[in-house]
Structure formats: C-alpha cells, structure tokens
Amino acid sequence: MVDTPTGERALVDVLRIILSILLPPLGVFLQVGLGFHFWLNILLTLLGYIPGIVHAVWIIARR
C-alpha cells in the first residue's frame, strides 16, 4: 500500500467497511483483489449474508 497519512488511511478503511456491509465481496475485492479471500467471501455471502459481512470486515481490519 502507498504511504498515506494515518487519517486518510482510516477514512479509506471506514469507507471499505461501509461497502462491506452493503456488499461484502466488493469490500474484500477493494482490499485484496481477485484472490482466495475474495472467492471465499463470495461463498460465505451466498451461504449467509452475515458470515460474508463478518469475513469482509475481518479482512479489512486485519490489514
């Protein structure tokens, strides 16, 4: 990730979390791209909306 001021990065993370609540795979895609976690999140979201949200927020908060 490009070096950004802490406040700007926090704002971007908050926006990703909001997107993750609305559409979990989108938040994961913006964070990690089309990797394993994106496809896992698609599966979790199809199995249940809440597991998809939890996974997406976890991915965003972890990085």
Whether 34 maps to a domain, the answer reads: yes
What are the tens digits of pLDDT across the range 19-43? 999 999 999 999 999 999 999 999 9
Whether 7 maps to a domain, the answer reads: no
Whether 48 maps to a domain, the answer reads: yes
Whether 4 maps to a domain, the answer reads: no
pLDDT at 2 over 60: no
pLDDT at 1 over 80: no
pLDDT at 4 over 80: no
Q: Exposed (0-12), middle (13-18) or buried (19+): which is 40, by Cβ within 10 Å?
A: middle
Whether 45 maps to a domain, the answer reads: yes
Whether 10 maps to a domain, the answer reads: no
- pTM score: 0.82
Domain that holds residue 41: 22-62
Domain count, the chain: 1
Question: What span, in angstroms and rounded, lies between the C-alpha atoms of 20 and 5?
Answer: 23
Whether 8 maps to a domain, the answer reads: no
